[in-house]
Structure 1
Amino acid sequence: MASSSDHDHHHHDLEHPPPDDWKNSGVRVIPSDSLDGNTPQTPGMDRKAAINFARVGAQKLWAGTVHIHANAKTGAHHHGHLESVIYVLKGKARMRWGDKLQFTAEAGPGDFIYVPPWVPHQEINASEDEKLECVLMRSDSEAVAVNLPDVEPIEAPETVKWIDPTHPE
């Protein structure tokens, strides 16, 4: 087992340092007014990419924004093998999921939403007069959005209260 000093030494002694000494291949700031709308879209929402392979060379994640207009909802869709995390900045999100979108939960500003791979889901703006603004992160740099026009939603979805398995009470 390597000691912590071996581990630290390994980090400082990179085999192939970048030719520009990290200036252009290090940290990147993506200004909010330069996000890229050229990403798979789902009816009812506006997705924009900030971090992906094409823009910054990201290998293992995708990040961007999602806006849903007041009183609007997306079509049912899933994201294939990707895991997704949605962070609500502003507004009230209502998520529906399942083969018939039979489950529902709501999230507000500061809340995180996790969507596992392959789960059919729909995002709904639960506010009648405020735009829903979210940050979206995915587990791979590829953008996958599979729209499911044949999913027939049941009309009274079952509310699911999420219980943290590490804090059941």
Structure 2
Amino acid sequence: MSCESSHTRDHHHEIPSPPEDGWRNSGVQVIPADSLDTNTAQTPGMNRAAAINLARAGAQKLWAGTVTIHADAKTGAHHHGHLESIIYVLKGRARMRWGNNLEFTAEAGPGDFIFVPPYVPHQEINALKDEDLECVLVRSDGEAIAVNLPDVEPVERPETVRWIDPTHKNLP
């Protein structure tokens, strides 16, 4: 049985009546790359640009956009309140530090996903000295929250943490 067929069978939802415009303007939206909005919550050391949120696309439960960290640069420590964040690395090499004193670290490259749970203090670092780090960013709510933490004192030598898939951790 395919995942799609079990998904379809397990979820019975009534489709609402279409809006007056028949979904023409309130259905699928394509946001061109050159129309992203930089008037969103920012953290020193990076440039965020919103593509999809409540104001721009009517998204009720998501915020999506891009983030660029210049070569050999890093952000200040920050968190995103109650929001979950997903970062997808398009280009470059991301070094993430997290924890109350940024005591943990891990790296991600093109094609890798990074998950940041709510309230986790973290810092994004471009691990490359000669190439911008470009990522796609998705958050679990339409609001843009960035709480900068200027008083965080990073440890000198963070511990490298390797991710282990919890659904496969007991396999040989």
Report if TM-score (shorter chain) is over 0.5.
yes
Runs of 4+ in 1 over 2 A off after TM superposition: none
Deviation, structure 1 residue 7: 3.7
Alignment map for 1:113-124 (pairs within 5 Å): 113-124=114-125
- Name 2:90's counterpart in structure 1: 89
Cα distance in 1 for partners of 2:18, 2:112 equals: 39
- Name 1:62's counterpart in structure 2: 63
Cα distance in 2 for partners of 1:100, 1:19 equals: 53
Scaled by the length of structure 2, what TM-score is found?
0.91
Q: Residue 49 of structure 1: SS of its match in structure 2? A: strand
Cα distance in 2 for partners of 1:22, 1:35 equals: 23
Alignment map for 1:3-152 (pairs within 5 Å): 7=12, 10-11=14-15, 14=16, 16-152=17-153
Q: Provide Cα deviations, 1:53-91, integer angstroms capped at 9, x if missing partner.
A: 000110000000000000000000000000000000000
Cα distance in 2 for partners of 1:126, 1:7 equals: 46
- Name 2:6's counterpart in structure 1: none
Deviation, structure 1 residue 17: 2.4
- In structure 2, runs of 5+ residues without a counterpart are 1-8
Scaled by the length of structure 1, what TM-score is found?
0.92
Q: Provide Cα deviations, 1:98-140, integer angstroms capped at 9, x if missing partner.
A: 0000000000000000000000000000000000000000000
Cα distance in 1 for partners of 2:135, 2:47 equals: 10
Q: Percent identity?
A: 76
- In structure 1, runs of 5+ residues without a counterpart are none
Corresponding pairs, count = 161
Deviation, structure 1 residue 51: 0.3
